[in-house]
Structure 1
Amino acid sequence: MLVAKIFGCRLVSRAKSPLASVILFAVLMYFMLVNSIISNISLEPTVFSHNKEDSQALQTLKVVRKTSSDVVLLPLPLTVPTQNKIIEVDNERRNSLASSLTGRKGHGVGKFRRKLPEYAIFKSDELTKKFHGRVLGFFNNRCEVHFFMTWISPVESFGRRETMAVESVFKSHPNGCLMILSRTMDSVRGYRLLKPLLDRGFKVVAVTPDIPFLVKNTPAEAWFNEMKSGKKDPGGIPLAQNLSNLIRLLVLHKYGGVYLDTDFIVLKSLKGLKNTIGAQSMDAASKNWTRLNNAVLVFDMKHPLVLKFIEEFALTFDGNKWGHNGPYMVSRVVGRFEGRGGYNFTILPPLAFYPVDWVKIGSLFKVPKDRAGSRWAEAKLQQLKGKTYGVHLWNKQSRKLQVEEGSVMGRLMAEHCVLCKNVYTPTS
């Protein structure tokens, strides 16, 4: 800057005419502007070079500005202490956002802002407005047990495996009532799939859920509004999976009853269970549970633990971590509230709902090859018939497996089906 000034003064002093002075003054201003730009570029990294963490924090703050519309926009020229204070206050939001952005790897926030509202499950229409009335009308005094399932996949995907799960409910609970929460199944084609059971007098219906109604006045209401408007990243895991995790909690909170996954084969009545969740795994030495699962939930209306599940789902949602909003979520909450007053509930051992781990589920689908295998199969059948309420099939792992005639699973399905058609056909 000093060089430019000296150089400019010399040029002006040598100018002999007004025109020359104007030209020289313009040249002077040009050099001063270039010099200023170069100085700013060279000084910017120098200001933050003494503190690498502050520089990284500033970059993070810039990301928050670009991606989160509910963060107050601040002018860029900030002193380092002010930036640190802002980042410290918004640390939890920043970490959550950074995690979501990292998981998506190149999928910008703008993409899910545009795409998310297109999900049919978020739509409100004349059908969803009838939801509450349909629930109350369906679950009446003639229902021995109230069951819920969710189905957010296309109706075409509701195959033999899912039908078998529905049949097993009525085999053990002929006077039970089952509601399948699903927009796709609440259709002509869905009705045709369920009609053979209806013709036999069983009470089953598919109903389109009204999510805005279900989340209203719950800890999930703000989460849902942010998700619907595109302000929250749904993550890389299919949104349907996480919506299923939430909807099951909301209907249990609102109405109470029994929730079952559509890959759960019921073996005996659940009527005697009350406020119950099952352990997926247990420590062999201590006999303490190590992980719970939410594939089967039995809770009264407005049970405080279910409300805590909903709260945890909304506050810690991460759409990039498998199980984070499902099995791991219920495990986190129960770990905090187990044994506390006012949270009366029962944790059943793995044998109750998850008698076979997901990595070993294939063994139930195969016919024994030798005498030792046959002895194991008979022992397993006796064990399941004695202490197990049902078997979770871990569909993601087993859906392509064929149920071999004479296998443990084949015998279980043959004993607990109602229509008993195509028992040995693999699901599509």
Structure 2
Amino acid sequence: MAAKNFGCRLVNRSKSPVVFMILFALLMFSMLADSIVSKISLESAAFNQKRDYQALQSPKLVRNIKRNVVFPLPLTVSAQNKIIRVDNEHGIGKFRRRRLPEYDIFTSDELTKKFHGRVLEFFNHGCEVHFFMTWIAKVGSFGRREIMAVESVFKAHPNGCLMILSRTMDSVQGYRILKPLLDRGFKVLAVAPDFPFLVKNTPAEAWLDDMKSGKKDPGEIPLAQNLSNLLRLAVLYKYGGVYLDTDFIVLRSFKGLKNTIGAQSIDVVSKNWTRLNNAVLVFDMNHPLVLKFIEEFALTFDGNKWGHNGPYMVSRVVRGVEGRAGYNFTILPPMAFYPVDWMKIGSFFKLPKDSAGWRWIEAKVWQLKRQTYGVHLWNKQSSKLMVEEGSVMGRLMGENCVLCKHVYSS
């Protein structure tokens, strides 16, 4: 634009056609040069972008001369993108999956080294029953449903002791969550577990080593789920007591239970159990069946099959040892811990639509109070359901809480 204005001024001063033509040619050349430069810049940028994209899509390869096999070089990609991290620190061809947040539970530090002493100290205060729960998730996820489960433990066992095995809950924020219960004198404590200590000298010790070194594939099932499956077994074998899932509402005392596991389902004709569950386990210290569970977990671990290392695992083991000498345990019917099937749990949260429905609620609550130790809520199915006031769960939660806040919430 500046060149154009300058040319106009010259033309006005001089009426020579020659000067005019020279200036016009210079102006056109300047505009053409700018266009060529811009095009080159754009093509260069496009080429660089394409080259960068191809580089990301095609990792470099290195050839192993001895085996004539091609392996990818180490890749480190942000875990936020959920891309596998591959290392070759143990040699080419041996890969480790990306580090998962749940792997923090494997770590031993100054806090976890105090674990054993803290357990002994905590349970050395006249506890009526020793309870354990596990929480391998963010502390902020420990919500109203989980607090209700904890409350129900103390409603039925005012002199019981509950230890929550959790690195995240063993924190200032975790303490604040539990403080309302502590202020009322209930014995509840969140403790970061020492995982290596708990599995030491058990069949799971080698499993843990393989998992930490990358030799064992954690699979597609959330690792936290399988870690909880093992952690509950390890702590019961080491100390004995009662394990409860955090989506279990206690209705009456467990004091009379000993070496007990519950059936989830039974055959309607034979009345024999068809599947057991590990959401509730009651066992003495060093019980041989619990050791057998740990052994089965370690030897047959499969992180790609839901329930394989949990409910299905306890079912496999019990089916193999039931009736054999040396294994002393009791299997309770579904009504004890699993009075409602996971596919029907929604009916416990809703109000009835007619008088027949109200009669069903009254009959069901009456039955549960007399025949059930507690209700497993099948959180995967029910976590987003609202507890409607007057429903079966509304009645049970309202009668078995101690803080009794947010009863009618998800």
The answer to whether TM tops 0.5 is: yes
Amino acid in the other structure paired with 1:320: N
Q: Secondary structure at the match of 1:194?
A: helix
**211, 220, 223: which one pairs with 1:239?**
223
Q: Does 1:382 align with 2:366?
A: yes
Counterpart residue number, 1:180: 164
Q: Which runs of 5+ in 2 are unaligned?
A: 1-63, 69-82, 88-94
Secondary structure, in 3 states, of the residue corresponding to 2:249? strand
1:289 aligns with one of 273, 277, 281: 273
What amino acid is aligned across from residue 376 of structure 2 in structure 1? H
CA distance in 2, matches of 1:114, 1:165: 34
Residues 113 and 229 in structure 1, CA contact (< 8 A), matched pair in contact too = no
Aligned runs of 1:18-417 on 2, under 5 Å?
A: 112-116=96-100, 119-417=103-401
Q: Which amino acid aligns with 1:274?
A: K
Q: 1: CA distance between counterparts of 2:277 and 2:96?
A: 29
CA contact (8 A) 1:112 1:234 kept: no
**Closer, same or farther: CA 357–118 of 1 in aligned 2, 3 Å:** closer
Please state how far the C-alpha of 1:115 moved relative to its aligned partner: 1.7
Cα 1:299–1:118 change in 2 (3 A) is closer
**In structure 1, how many angstroms separate the alpha carbons of the residues matched to 2:323 and 2:151?**
36
From the superposition, tell whether residues 424 and 117 of structure 1 become closer, same or farther in structure 2 (CA, over 3 Å).
closer
Give SS of 2:309's match.
Answer: coil
Q: CA deviation at 1:119?
A: 2.2
State TM-score, norm by structure 2.
Answer: 0.77
Cα separation, partners in 2 of 1:260 and 1:338, compared to 1, 3 Å: same
1:158 Cα deviation after fit: 0.3
Give 1:296 deviation, angstroms: 0.1
Aligned to 2:22: none
Runs of 4 or more above 3 Å deviation: 106-114
Distance 1:273 1:148 in 2: 15
Contact 2:85–2:97, Cα closer than 8 Å, also in 1? no
- Per-residue deviation, residues 177-222 of structure 1 (Å, max 9, x unmatched): 0000000000000000000000000000000000010010000000
Is the radius of gyration larger for structure 1 or structure 2?
A: 2
Number of the residue aligned with 1:91: none
* d(CA) in 2 for partners of 1:290, 1:226: 33
Per-residue deviation, residues 215-242 of structure 1 (Å, max 9, x unmatched): 1000000000000111110000111100
Contact 2:241 2:283 in 1 (8 A): yes
Whole-angstrom CA distance in 2 between matches of 1:179 and 1:108: 35
Match of 1:292, SS?
strand
Count of aligned pairs between the two proteins: 325
Question: Larger % of helix: which?
Answer: 1
Unpaired runs of at least 5, structure 1 = 1-72, 78-105
Secondary structure, counterpart of 1:115 in structure 2:
coil
Match of 1:9 in 2: none
Q: Distance in 1 between matches of 2:167 and 2:229?
A: 16
Contact 2:102–2:136 (CA under 8 A) maintained in structure 1: no
How much has 1:141 moved relative to structure 2?
Answer: 4.5
Please report how far the alpha carbon of residue 267 of structure 1 lies from its aligned counterpart in structure 2 after TM superposition.
Answer: 0.1
1:238-269 Cα deviation digits (max 9, x unpaired): 11100000000000000000000000000000
Shift of 1:113: 3.6
State the alpha-carbon separation in 1 of the partners of residues 255 and 323 from structure 2.
24
Identity of matched residues, %: 81
